[in-house]
Structure 1
Amino acid sequence: MTVRSARSASPVEGLAAATELLACEGVLSAAQIRTTVEAIAALQRPDGAIPWFHGGHLDPWDHIEAAMALDAAGLADRALAAYRWLAASQNPDGSWYAAYADAPGGVTEPTNRLRETNFSAYIAVGVWHHWLATGDEDFLAQMWQPVQRATDFVLSLQTAGGEILWCRDEQGREADEALLTGCSSMYQALRCALAVAERLGRDRPDWELACGRLGHALTAHPERFADKGTYSMDWYYPVLGTALRGAAAEQRIAEGWDDFVVRDLGVRCVSTNPWVTGGETCELALALWAIGDTERARMLLRDIQHLRDDADGMYWTGRVFEADGAGHEPALWPVEKTTWTAGALLLALAVLAEEKATVAVFGGDGLPEGLPVACSVAECVAA
């Protein structure tokens, strides 16, 4: 796999070069992208944590997405600080809590003590992305233990069928269902964890088997996941998470397009509600790019610019575009601009610009796929 050498440019030079690369005609100029990147960086705390917005909260998954966006935008030092925060705040069992306070002085007191598998797994994606972006071998070695502990925690909740339960609570009780969106993201994370292990010469055949079992469950056993079919993420995440490619991916996107995509506005979060959201729209753009549909990916990024605040370059989470039965009138909703929405946009621009690290992580080419499995009705084992 081709990787970059460690960046020698200054942060200012790195940002300038990256924003020129990410500029997309008809979507955003380099100057507009720079404004967005600087806004995310301004929200990062001194300890490296990246909250949704000042005074809100932060969660590990969205923190990592924002860190990846900073790397794609040339701010490797900022991304490094974000991963150091993750390593410092990891629980002894390898997990992270679902949410942490954003308070003066960098308080990291958890506000939601659920330990979600998807949130914990995603560190492998971020770490692999940072290494691809920088070539920093010392970083990869230092992050091996956090990645290993997180992956082992996640796989402690894998079932015999290959799917992974979505959380463990504070009392150690496990959820009774697996989520398609979360498991699709964890499939990508397991592939990245295996890539980290291979690069460091670590042999983890148990991860290879787990990855193969999860991939098989995602592609062959939809009945093993909770029915959340009205959510757009359940529609496109098997593609975004690299489990589906080729004709199967194209068919899945085609089947859900009319249910979720609103012309000129973006993607519904839920098919039954008149509410489009920036994060889902940009993630669908990433999924479209992954199957070669770059024209519609650019179209979605153009469509979602109605959520941009030109004053600071940040993006509102979503917009209700007509009155609904819940009492919501057409308006921006919720009234918040989030680092992860802006981060998803930057990552979508990065793949369209063929930025190598982001292309490798979301394209999936070169990532380990795990072991092939043979499957019975209830259990998947090594073939």
Structure 2
Amino acid sequence: MISIEEGIVEKISWEREGIQCLEVTLAGRAGKEKALNYSKLTGKVLAGQRVFLNTTAVRLSLGSGGYHFVLFNPARENLPLSPQGHIIKLRYTPLQFKVHTYEEKLPEICPDILLKKYCGLKNTPVVIGELHSMIAPFVLLFNKRYSGKRIVYVMTDSASLPLYLSDTVSRLKGEGMLAGTITCGHAFGGDIETVNVYTALTAAKEELKADVILLIPGPGVVGTGTRYGFSGIEQGEHIDRVNKFKGIPIFIPRISFADKRSRHYGLSHHSITALAEISSTRAYLPFPLLNKKKRNILFRQLIQSGLPRKHRLVLVKKPPLKMSYTFPGMQTMGRSIQEDPDFFAAVEAAAVFTGKFFF
């Protein structure tokens, strides 16, 4: 079920490509509330206009950041469809829309593409992570230590679908730290749209000339507290995809000693399940050098899950650079670098290890 409420746009708080942040008042409710409008779907709105909002997540106190979403903008001008592209995203929903995908452009780029087998990623490092909050620390540290390399971000469709939602990606692109973005499956808003992960990897290497590929979902992953019921389980499948395409899979372990939930304490069960049970092939698994007590907990988890026999564990012995940079709002699960240093240390270790493939 969807909760739909009518409102009036009081103010445009900020906007950038593809998205507007609004203050709205809702019929029958006191006070102003926050809303997001994806202008590529529902058109731009102006202060004073009437809109219809999907208020489901806020009413149920779910994790949408306290935002409603514009579902219908009556003032939107009905523009003619572009003749290019016929692949539909959000298929068979009221908001389905068409895009011009990389796959559709391939026959123009390579006329005999249907007869050719892809020659692969040619040992390009592909960094696999579960949380969107891993992107900023990885990119910032990697660029600090190994400048001049092209990092391409591939966003899967296992979490939020619009890339426009990501403040992180918007800032990193604006500062020239990301060479490009690709959205695959039903995710949308990247520089390149693709139908699946395989063609996203292909586009990252062939079209955007990636030196490093980040394969990480958007904000808002799903977990249920059950063994297999979490969206990040795709990480195990990603390892196999990267190996099949002759890339180098590097897995960022989700580590935290600040998260008091037992299933996420130390090495998260999400990482363990994806690595131990879902992947069929090997990945590099870099770990930061933590203190002895934490190290012992991690080693015990690794041994119990059989990961040293299955994957290539790497201890980044030389301590990574301390976080000597700032990035607005850099957090993970609501915790800052100071509150959850080991999470960020794991991302740092992955960045340092990835750089070793270039030197």
* TM score, norm. by length of structure 2: 0.26
Q: Which has more strand, going by share of residues?
A: 2
Q: Which has more helix, going by share of residues?
A: 1
Structure (1 or 2) with the larger CA radius of gyration: 2
